[in-house]
A and B are shown apart, each in its own frame.
Chain A
Amino acid sequence: GAGVSQSPRYKVAKRGQDVALRCDPISGHVSLFWYQQALGQGPEFLTYFQNEAQLDKSGLPSDRFFAERPEGSVSTLKIQRTQQEDSAVYLCASSPGGGPYGYTFGSGTRLTVV
Chain B
Amino acid sequence: GQQLNQSPQSMFIQEGEDVSMNCTSSSIFNTWLWYKQDPGEGPVLLIALYKAGELTSNGRLTAQFGITRKDSFLNISASIPSDVGIYFCAGTNAGNNRKLIWGLGTSLAVNP
| A residues at B contact (CB < 8 Å) | 4, 31, 33, 35, 40-45, 48, 55-56, 58-59, 91, 93, 98-101, 103, 105-108
- What are 12 contact pairs spanning A and B, CB under 8 A? A42-B88, A56-B99, A58-B99, A59-B1, A59-B99, A91-B42, A91-B43, A99-B98, A100-B92, A101-B31, A103-B100, A105-B42
B6, B45, B97: the one contacting A103 at CB < 8 Å is B45
B105 touches A107 (CB 8 A): no
B24-51 to A contact mask, C-beta < 8 Å, 1/0? 0000000101000000111111001000
Asked if B102 is at the interface (CB within 8 A of a chain A CB), the reply is yes
- Check B76 for interface membership: any CB of A closer than 8 A: no
Residues in A whose Cβ lies below 8 Å from that of B90: 42-43
How many residues of B are in contact with the other chain, CB < 8 A?
26
Closest residue to B1 on the A side, CB-wise?
Answer: A44
Residues of chain B at the chain A interface (Cβ within 8 Å): 1, 3-4, 6, 31, 33, 40-45, 48, 88, 90, 92, 96-105
Asked whether A100 lies within 8 Å of B104 as measured between CB atoms, the reply is no
Contact A41/B43 with A99-B98, A100-B97 known, Cβ cut-off 8 Å: no
Question: In whole Å, how far is B61's beta carbon from the nearest beta carbon of chain A?
Answer: 18
Chain A residues near B98: list those with CB within 8 A: 31, 33, 48, 55-56, 98-100
Contact B42 A93 (CB under 8 A): yes
Complexed CA–CA distance, A33 and B43 (Å): 13
Identify the closest chain A residue to B3 (Cβ). Answer: A42
Please indicate the chain B residues that have their CB under 8 angstroms from the CB of A31 in the complex: 98
Bound complex: CA A33 to CA B102 (Å): 14
Closest partner residue, chain B, to A35 (CB atom): B100
CB-CB under 8 A from B33, the residues of chain A are 100
For A93, list chain B residues within 8 Å (CB): 42
Please measure, in the bound complex, the distance between the C-alpha atom of A33 and the C-alpha atom of B103, giving whole angstroms: 18
A107 touches B43 (CB 8 A): no
